[in-house]
Amino acid sequence: MNTSRDLLRHTLATLAYRAGKALRGAPAGFAEFRISESSRTAGQILAHMGDLMEWALSIERGEEKWRNSESPDWGQGSERFFDALGTLDAYLASEAPLNVTPEKLFQGPIADALTHVGQLTMMRRAAGGAVRGENYFVAEVTAGRVGADQAAPRREFD
C-alpha cells in the first residue's frame, strides 16, 4: 500500500469481509428483529448501510446526495449493500479525482458502516443466530474483494 487511497480500498475490503459474516446465514425473520421498540430493525440497519455506501460514492463524485431507503428483504438489502460497496471500490481504484480526502470518507460513511456491522453481529447473537468470532488479523482480506463472496475464515472461535 502506497497511498491513503490504497488503505481506504483495503478498509472497504475489510468492511465487506466482516459484513459478509454478519449478513450470511441470518435466521429467518431477522430483517424484522429489533433490540427494543425504539431501535432500528436489522433490515433498516442494512438499508442504512447501503445508503451510506451510495452516499460515499456521491461525495467522491462531487454530487453529494443522501437518501433514506426502505428496507427490502434481507437478500435484496445484502445485494444492494455489496453492489454499492463494489461501485465505490471501483471508483477509488480508478484515476477519477477524489472530491474529499480518504480520511474524511473514512471518518464518515465508512466508519459508520463498520459500526453497523458490529450492531448486526450483536443482534444476530440476541436473535439466536450468532456469528462466530474470528481472529481477523489472519483473515484473507484483499483490496478489491468487496462482494458477498469472501474467503473462508482462517481461525474462528466461539
The string of pLDDT tens digits covering residues 40-52 is 999 999 999 999 9
Question: Taking the model in full, what pTM does it have?
Answer: 0.94
Total structural domains in the chain?
1
Q: Residue 133 belongs to what domain range?
A: 4-157
Place of cell 481472529: 135
- pLDDT value, residue 91: 97
d(CA 120, CA 46): 8
List the grid coordinates of 27.
Answer: 435466521
Mean per-residue pLDDT of the chain: 95
Give yes or no for residue 2 having a pLDDT over 70: no
Confidence of residue 1 (pLDDT cuts 50, 70, 90): low
* DSSP state for residue 106 in the 8-state scheme: I
Higher pLDDT, 2 or 85: 85
CATH number at residue 152: 1.20.120.450
- pLDDT value, residue 152: 83
Give one DSSP letter per residue of 6-75, joined into a string: HHHHHHHHHHHHHHHHHHTTPPTTGGG--SSTTSPPHHHHHHHHHHHHHHHHHHHTT-----------HH
d(CA 38, CA 100): 34
- pLDDT value, residue 125: 95
Question: Which residues, 6+ apart, have CB-to-CB distance to 22 below 8 Å?
Answer: 117, 120, 121, 124, 131
- Residues 50-103: pLDDT tens digits? 999 999 999 999 999 999 999 889 999 999 999 999 999 999 999 999 999 999
Give yes or no for residue 144 having a pLDDT over 60: yes
